[in-house]
Amino acid sequence: MAISARSPYLPTLIGLGFAASVGLTLFPQIGCKSSRPLPTAKAPPTANGLPEESEAAATISPPPSPASPQPTIACAANQVPIPGGTFWLGDEEIGRHAHQVTLAPYCMDKTEVTVAAFRACVQAHKCRPPSATVDWKGITPKDKAKWSQFCNWGKRGFDQHPMNCVDWDQATEYCAATGGRLPTEDEWEYAACGNDDRIFPWGKQPPDVTRLNACGGECASMAKERFDENWETMYTGDDGWTSTSPVGNYPKGASPFGILDMAGNVWEWTVDIFSVNDQGPGDSPRGPQPNTPYRTIRGGGWNSNAAARVRTASADGNGPDSRNFSVGFRCARGVKNSDGT
């Protein structure tokens, strides 16, 4: 397993330790996208790959194509428009089957949903008040008390931190209440890696303290002091945050579309059922299915201590009823007309 028994393990998470152990020699290396020609892929929205920070950037019209005209995307102010097309996703190096997917244009939240945003939803009576406690199958009272310390709801000074300790239904309800939905994992991955063959949201450089909030020296020190435990670290140095950080705190870690915290801070719920190895087009199931109890989470969290966890193609599964201290979410929105309908 990538995470040792003495590390901040997530009892309800499965998959990556297995996934990391397979697929290393069966296929040539392919990042989250292939370097092979992509006849129908669309370029990022600007020449430098980063959307402009302006109101106008919230709406784009992809280049017209006689064969498949794309509709205009109308995104919310806190979202980034992502053009549609056919892309290579997956990462054979970590056992995530590389395959082509075709996506319609969509919108993705620029940051993870914050405590303040979730509170606004509760105050508008559109979201249920959260409990600010963790929960997962088989949790002991001792572990519930231990890990609930890291739930952000109700904590002074945490308004701009990601909302965590929410289950899949709570995340789904929030997104619906704000006019969106949870992203599919294909949408999540493309928003994280774009189309230029990168491994992490920012490129191919290994994770470091300037690009994300994961478990660095600060995290290990906190665990030693608070629990007398020895947690492994992802990188040397101090990233400044012993648990979650405010959202958008690491602009150097932005994805090609300017989307933030796609690596680290909190894992993010997606709409999809978890599969250890996504098998390709059409294998992106939605909705409850028998014998597949886990929902896919993406991106790694503040306690992640292996670089493989924050690769853009990395995925893991989490019980939909689980409320985890390192799992939050962001919302997406499908194509809408410019009048919002």
Binding site for Ca ion (CB under 5 A): 213, 219, 239, 241
Is the distance from CB of 308 to CB of 298 less than 8 angstroms? no
Burial class of 31 by CB neighbour count within 10 A (0 to 12, 13 to 18, 19+): buried
Cα 302–chain centre separation: 12
Q: Which residue has the tokens 């092979």?
A: 36
CA distances from 62 to 54, 80, 195 (A): 17, 14, 15
> Please, what is the minimum distance in Å from the beta carbon of residue 240 to Ca ion?
7
Q: What are 250's two structure tokens?
A: 């690491």
What's the CA gap between 2 and 124, in Å, rounded? Answer: 41
> Please, what is the minimum distance in Å from the beta carbon of residue 315 to Ca ion?
21
What's the CA gap between 292 and 14, in Å, rounded? Answer: 12
> Please, what is the minimum distance in Å from the beta carbon of residue 149 to Ca ion?
15
How would DSSP label each residue in 107-141? EEESSPPBHHHHHHHHHTTSSPPP----B-TT--H
Given the complex with Ca ion, which of 108 and 219 has the nearer CB atom?
219
Given the complex with Ca ion, which of 219 and 223 has the nearer CB atom?
219
Given the complex with Ca ion, which of 139 and 310 has the nearer CB atom?
310
> Please, what is the minimum distance in Å from the beta carbon of residue 246 to Ca ion?
12
Given the complex with Ca ion, which of 240 and 288 has the nearer CB atom?
240
What's the CA gap between 55 and 215, in Å, rounded? Answer: 35
Given the complex with Ca ion, which of 121 and 163 has the nearer CB atom?
163
> Please, what is the minimum distance in Å from the beta carbon of residue 189 to Ca ion?
23
> Please, what is the minimum distance in Å from the beta carbon of residue 208 to Ca ion?
12
Given the complex with Ca ion, which of 34 and 305 has the nearer CB atom?
305
